[in-house]
Amino acid sequence: MKVAFCMRGDYLARYGGDTCKVLNAKEVLEGTYGVKVSILTEPQQLYMYNVDIVHVFNAQTLELSLQFAEVAKSLGKKVVLSSIFWDLSHSLFASHLARLGIMNIKKWHKFLKKPHDLGMSLISCFSSKVYFGSSKYVRNLNRLVTLADLVITNSPEELDILKKVSGVRNINSRVVINEVNTEIFRKTPKIGNNMTVLTAGRIEPTKNQLSLVRSLLEDKEIRIVIVGAVSSGRYLKEIEKLARIRGNVEIIPRNVSQSELYDIYVNSDVHALPSFRDSPGRTTLEALSVGLKVVVSGSDFCPVDFYFGKLVNKSVFVCNPYDISSIRTAVLRALKAPADEESSEFPFTLERKGLQIFEAYKDILSVRG
């Protein structure tokens, strides 16, 4: 079986969750199932590869993903779409406020969120850019989803949002989990509590690290560690400014290797990701796999039910990312929570993910037409 993985061109330079998804899937499909995977970053490259399936990643890079799908269908290929999709309105709002120099998002959320969304809709009517939720965006998303022979989502919640935004009600779909390489991010018994809260992810308004620091401004005995590549230098400077005022904050503004990240997890107690959009956040799953308590945003921002279910208020604590008091409460509860004595097997493994994808490929190839 030959498969083309179709991906944004900067997937290595701008390392993200979709990058991990592609590289992990390639590793397990080739290593376990003998699938030959080629990673393509330009739609025209499809003319040079004879493949059985064109697997397009990330509906958030909508125009590029649609081009891949259109070329693939013109060549008569089966198209699988990993949508990696969520409601982007909250993350766009946070990013746009940050560009305007407005960093106290709690103060302005109540007054500006609805006017912002309305303004974006109006701007999209007169702009060549395709903004989330605009009529052109919806048309393109609708076409992309319709062209796909199979749509893979990370959760049932993601599928519901994809249907709502795209307007496509009948989608041939299946859920394939987000995964963790448990050979690296293995369960590690915690000895004591050194009061360290870690947040790992790109340093940008969407990940909301500034609100995390602000929420613990008076809790200076809690050590905060922030690690991740920098997407917004301006946002990093605001975090650094607040970190100097607070003290006891370590910032590692770069991508780190998986082994180094594992060591950082082991020396932390809680991983907090009060993000405005995650599905549910690869670092959250890695931290949970290692044995940390985690803080995540609520169901408007993250598929809490599917991924965490019975773990909520045990190993997983939920917050409102707009509300620093909610973030603080969730972090303090996580720090005080007793060790989880249950020895249930961690379900979000690379091996399980690989099997799910391979079975999806076999099923889609078995359908004629």
In this prediction, residue 101 carries a pLDDT of 79
Give alpha helix (H) positions in 39-104: 62-74, 89-99
Round to whole Å and give the CA distance between 84 and 58. 5
In this prediction, residue 108 carries a pLDDT of 67
In this prediction, residue 130 carries a pLDDT of 64
Residue 364 backbone dihedrals phi, psi, to 5 degrees: -70, -30
Which sequence spans correspond to the domains of the chain? Answer: 2-87+135-179+349-365, 89-123, 196-336
CA distances from 67 to 62, 230, 324, 356 (A): 9, 29, 41, 26
Q: Identify the sign of the CA torsion 320, 168, 119, 96.
A: positive
In this prediction, residue 299 carries a pLDDT of 95
CB 29 within 8 A of CB 37: yes
The CATH number given to 196-336 is 3.40.50.2000
Is beta strand 270-273 parallel, antiparallel or unpaired with respect to 196-200?
Answer: parallel
**What string of pLDDT tens digits covers the 369 residues of the chain?**
999 999 999 998 888 888 989 999 999 999 999 999 999 999 999 999 999 999 999 998 999 999 999 999 999 999 999 999 998 888 888 887 787 777 777 666 666 776 666 666 666 565 555 667 678 888 999 999 999 999 999 999 999 999 999 999 999 999 999 999 999 999 988 766 789 999 999 999 999 999 999 999 999 999 999 999 999 999 999 999 999 999 999 999 999 999 999 999 999 999 999 999 998 999 999 999 999 999 999 999 999 999 999 999 999 999 999 999 999 999 999 999 987 766 677 899 999 999 999 999 999 999 865
Classified by CATH at the fold level, domain 2-87+135-179+349-365 comes out as Rossmann fold (3.40.50)
In this prediction, residue 127 carries a pLDDT of 55
Is-same-fold flag (2-87+135-179+349-365; 196-336)? yes
CB 225 within 8 A of CB 252: yes
